[in-house]
Amino acid sequence: MTQDNPAVEVLSSTTRLPPFLSSDTKLWFLQAEAIFTTERITSQTTKFNRVIAVLPPETLRQVADLLATPGTDPYDAIKERIHSTYTRSESKSLQLLLDNPPIGDQRPSQLLNEMRYIAGSDIPSSLLCKLWINRLPQSCRSILAASAETDPSKLAAIADRIMETADTIATNSVQHQISELSAQIQQLSAANSRPQRTDERRRSRTRSPPRRQLRQRSRDRNYERSRSQSRSRSRSRSVCWYHDRWGNNAVKCEKPCNYRSEN
């Protein structure tokens, strides 16, 4: 039995215990006892009273008899009662481990630590290690299976390095695939634009007549313009265009024409 001096210890205590965590009483008592150690609290009565002060009503009902009759070691008694009330059974812990989802975004070592916490001291280390390995990706499991290492912590360190290497390779592979896809898209875009430019040139040639035709049309227009101008001049002199153009050598004549032969 512990020699208590609660009056002195209560005056020296300053840190309030964290809110009670019924889903994880083991972790909660570890936090509480860390505070007791820091504040050098050793009295069973002081620890008991500090715990009672933060318990919710539904938990107080589970320890009501201990409140009425604390006994000689009240802290140990209330700690054991709370553990027995809220702690998972071995079968429940095993079921949680079996139902545990795949690794997800965790590192293998993080997954192992979480499974260790769930298992507590109820699940053998060898079984826990097998359950952990089954949660890892197939590529990682294959490499670990070839390893002679049996210590779970060392296996977890190896698995971390495997996963880091796999992530780097996967990232580089994705970047390479993106680069290849971008190059293919550019090639397709260039190939699609070439027929369009060819069609535009073909349509342009269809709409625009050949240069030979343009030159012939220009000569025809010049000839008609010259003929029209000559006719206009010939009419002003009462001489037809043929005689105005060819004189005595004209083989045609348009009336009225006052041309007189020079013979």
Q: Rounded distance, CA 250 to CA 262, Å?
A: 13
Chain segment 222-242, per-residue pLDDT in tens: 656 655 555 555 455 678 888
- pLDDT score, position 236: 52
Q: What pLDDT, on a 0 to 100 scale, did the predictor assign at position 40?
A: 94
Q: Please tell me the distance from the alpha carbon of residue 190 to that of residue 100, in angstroms, as a whole number.
A: 52
Provide the token pair at 7: 């009056």
Burial class of 70 by CB neighbour count within 10 A (0 to 12, 13 to 18, 19+): middle
**CB within 8 Å of 239: residues ≥ 6 apart:** 257, 258, 259
% residues pLDDT > 70 (the chain): 64
pLDDT tens, position by position, for the chain (263 residues)?
Answer: 444 555 445 445 578 899 999 888 989 999 999 999 999 999 999 999 999 999 999 999 999 999 999 889 999 999 999 998 987 766 777 777 777 666 667 899 998 888 888 787 777 888 888 888 888 888 888 888 888 888 889 999 999 999 888 756 544 444 555 556 656 656 666 666 666 666 666 666 655 555 666 566 666 666 566 555 555 554 556 788 888 888 888 888 888 888 777 65
What is the residue extent of each domain of the chain?
A: 6-86, 90-164
pTM: 0.47
- Rg of the chain over all Cα atoms, to the nearest angstrom: 53
Beta-carbon contacts of 82 under 8 Å, excluding residues fewer than 6 positions away, are 25, 29, 59, 62, 63
Question: Is the sign of the CA dihedral 97, 98, 101, 105 positive or negative?
Answer: positive
Instruction: List C-alpha distances in Å: 242 to 34, 221, 226, 256, 262.
Output: 131, 19, 13, 12, 15
Query: What stretch of H or E contains 238?
Result: none
Q: 112: how many CB neighbours lie within 10 A of its CB?
A: 26
Q: How far apart are CA 248 and CA 59, in angstroms?
A: 141
**Which pLDDT score is estimated for 116?**
85
